[in-house]
Amino acid sequence: MRKDERAEIEAAMNRLLDGLPLRSDGKLTVVCLAIEAGVKRHVLTHKHTDLRDRFYARVKAHNGLAANQTALHEQNAELGRRLDNMRTERDEYKRAADALARALNVLTVESDALRRQVSRLRERNGPTPLMPVS
């Protein structure tokens, strides 16, 4: 038995839970813990069962996520909320733009009708001093 085996396992446990693996893919499993600590898996499952159990307890306390993964999940949730807010705002702008387009269309139709009416009046009555000739 290596003298510092337990210390290596503890350090590996901390690295995995902090999301900073050096030797493994960072998954929170006993296999990865063994790889990270540089020991055989059976060392954890048969010899240092207390460390294995503590590792499982800490993984459970972290909801099965390393510290950096928790931060990423929180950041992802915040970005999702911001995206939802932006979509809502976009939809409001779209509704406002549609309403303005309808109003512009109505005003254009009314303006054209008034211009035609003025034109007919000018043809019938001739120009007056108050109405400039266009």
Question: Does pLDDT of 133 surpass 70?
Answer: no
User: How many whole angstroms separate alpha carbon 43 and alpha carbon 39?
Assistant: 7
pLDDT band at 49 (very low <50, low <70, confident <90, very high): very high
Q: What string of DSSP letters covers 8-26?
A: HHHHHHHHHHHT--SSS--
User: How many whole angstroms separate alpha carbon 49 and alpha carbon 103?
Assistant: 75
Q: Which residue has the tokens 């000018």?
A: 122
> So what's the pLDDT on residue 95?
97
Q: What global pTM score does this model have?
A: 0.51
pLDDT one-digit tens code per residue, 105-131? 999 999 999 999 999 988 888 766 665
User: How many whole angstroms separate alpha carbon 33 and alpha carbon 62?
Assistant: 16
Q: Which residues 6+ apart lie within 8 Å of 26 measured at CB? A: 16, 19, 32, 66
Q: Which amino acid is at 45?
A: T
Q: Could you tell me if 24 and 39 are in contact, meaning their C-beta atoms sit under 8 angstroms apart?
A: no
Question: Does pLDDT of 81 surpass 90?
Answer: yes
pLDDT one-digit tens code per residue, 18-42? 888 889 888 888 999 999 999 999 9
Domain ranges of the chain: 5-61, 68-120
Q: For residues 70 and 46, which has the higher predicted lDDT (pLDDT)? A: 46
> So what's the pLDDT on residue 80?
95
Question: Does pLDDT of 65 surpass 80?
Answer: no
Q: Which residues 6+ apart lie within 8 Å of 125 measured at CB? A: none
Q: Which amino acid is at 51?
A: L
pLDDT band at 3 (very low <50, low <70, confident <90, very high): low
